[in-house]
Each structure stands twice: as C-alpha cells, then as structure tokens.
Amino acid sequence: MRPHVVNSRKIELLEKVWAKLPWQYVTRGVSIAVIAQEGEAVLRLLFVEADTVFPQHMHPDATEVLELLHCGSNAKIGPTEDWTESVNVNDIQHYLPTAPKVIKVTNILFYEN
C-alpha cells in the first residue's frame, strides 16, 4: 500500500533539505533533527524507520504536539507497547509533560514541537 501524504508542499520542502538536516541518533531506527528553536520552544522533525518500535519515552518538562505528515497503514501510538491505537496522516497528537508514549510504525514522519 502506498503511504498517504498530508501536505505535499511540506514533503517537497523536506525532500530538498533532508540531507542537510542536523540528524541526531536517538535509538535504533529513530532520528531527530532540530529545525527551529526560540527560547524554550523547539520544532523538531522525528523520523522512525520502517518496522521500528520507538520505546516508551516522555519529556518531563515539555508539552508535545506531534503532527503526522507521512505514514504507512500500520502506524500506531499509545502509552505502552501493548496499548497503542492506529494513527493516520493529518492526526495531531498532544502530550502533557511526563505523559508516556510508544510509537510503532511501518514508516512514519512527524513534526514535533
């Protein structure tokens, strides 16, 4: 199945700068690039490779908003690996500080701030 794209303009822009982004390794199959930062607000791009589980994690001092830009049909997010729900392109996920999450994907791309 072909992945769905929420906003082709965003994807086009990302394709042009992808290789120049300051990617940082997080864990197997997971990388993050900071796109912009002002004060305590940070806009990051989170990339999770196909067939990867981003283990349970949280940010103790940050509220997170995740915008799903691109994904395969089996992308899931939830508080634990056993308790996840399917997510779709256009979904917006919101997490208060200390809220745990697990991301399970076939292929997924998020803006995270």
Q: Give pLDDT tens digits for 51-108.
A: 888 888 888 888 888 887 777 677 889 999 899 988 887 788 888 899 988 888 865 4
Q: Report yes or no: 43 and 37 within 8 Å, Cβ to Cβ.
A: yes
- How many structural domains compose the chain? 1
Looking at residue 107, the DSSP 8-state letter turns out to be S
pLDDT band at 28 (very low <50, low <70, confident <90, very high): very high
Q: What is the CATH number of the domain that holds 27?
A: 2.60.120.10
| Residue 17: DSSP 8-state | H
Whether pTM > 0.95 for this model: the answer is no
Q: Which amino acid is at 76?
A: K
Phi, psi of 15, rounded to the nearest 5 degrees: -60, -35
Which domain covers residue 43, as residue numbers? 4-112
Cα–Cα distance measured from residue 69 to residue 89, given in angstroms and rounded to the nearest whole number: 6
Q: Would you state the structure tokens that stand for residue 31, as one six-digit string? A: 């990388």
